Structure 1
Amino acid sequence: MRIGLIADTHNLLRPEALAALQGVDHLIHAGDIGGPSILAELGRIAPLSVVRGNNDQAAWADAIPENLTLRFGAVNLYVLHDLKQLAIDPKAAGIDVVIAGHSHKPLHEVRDGVLYLNPGSAGPRRFKLRVGVGILHIEDDRARAELITLLV
């Protein structure tokens, strides 16, 4: 299974991001979406799970949760926008992968046996950070990730 990861589009869905996410089985947007048209476009690619970011304050975003727990096979994911607001102990909660956005900085590291991912920003460039997305591969009930640079 391939799960596309995208965050911080801020109402800009780059063609490069759409191309990189083609063929995924599911999509996760980790917040700061920017508008419902982004969700509609992503929803054409694959089933979509989303969390609200700190900039998603308009009425269209009222029903979007601040965090999600998802399960794909035996792999448990926890999705939120800002990793600094993580209010659970992922390992104790049985979470295998934590997915966040907000910082616009790509993150791919293991802490205490839990994989932490931030695909980076797929929308407007912030400072000199790269623009990118990610793919979470779930095979044999194990997760591995790749971060894809769209623009450096």
Structure 2
Amino acid sequence: MKIVVMSDSHGDKETVAAVSALPADAIVHCGDSELSANDPLVGDIHIVKGNCDRDSRFPDSLFIEVGNKRMLIVHGHEHDCKRTLLPLFYSAKEQEADIVLFGHSHLYGAELQDGVLFVNPGSTLLPRAGKEPTFAEIEWDDVDSYKVSFKNMDFEIVNSVEIKKYLK
């Protein structure tokens, strides 16, 4: 299975169109798209409302299942994600999520905490800390490992990690 995740595109329709056209089992946008829910680009994208989004028709959070994985999708501003993952961790455990997808910080990263994969794809338009614009691809074949690739807008891998879920 493979999902493509983007965030913080801040009105850049060209990038949203390019990234959402990639082959995947699901396309996710973690907020601050600054798009209208009526925009044809939204289509089949699983999209949440960020702190810069004005269209109240986008939900604050989504819970979806792709293959055998349960995913919690939020922007992150309501979970204090710039300082800690703890509120997101508690939400993931309460909802029995396998993967948490979030944005807001404009910095990409992935980590596994107590069996839950947390992925921030970075920003497709306004990255911070001197990083280049990125989105993420998450792939898995079985229940024990993930491959997370962060790609730039030329679709080149800028960083990737394979994370193996511990066995209980």
TM-score where L is the length of structure 1: 0.80
CA RMSD of aligned residues (A): 2.8
Q: What secondary structure sits across from 1:108 in the alignment? A: strand
Q: How does 1:72-83 map to 2 (within 5 A)?
A: 72-82=66-76, 83=79
Consecutive unaligned residues in structure 2, runs of 5 or more:
82-86, 159-168
Distance 2:15 2:70 in 1: 30
Match of 1:108 in 2: 110
* Number of aligned residues: 146
Q: Choose between structure 1 and 2 for higher RCO, CA contacts under 8 A separated by at least 6 residues.
A: 1
Match of 2:23 in 1: 23
Q: What secondary structure sits across from 2:80 in the alignment? A: helix
Distance 1:127 1:71 in 2: 33
Consecutive unaligned residues in structure 1, runs of 5 or more:
none
Residue by residue over 1:23-45, the C-alpha shift from the partner in whole angstroms, topping out at 9 and shown as x without a partner, is 123211000011238952353xx
Letter of the 1:84 counterpart:
D
> What is the percentage of aligned positions where both structures have the same residue?
25
TM-score where L is the length of structure 2: 0.73
CA contact (8 A) 1:136 1:143 kept: no
Distance 1:102 1:122 in 2: 12
Q: What secondary structure sits across from 1:136 in the alignment? A: strand
Q: How does 1:64-79 map to 2 (within 5 A)?
A: 64-79=58-73
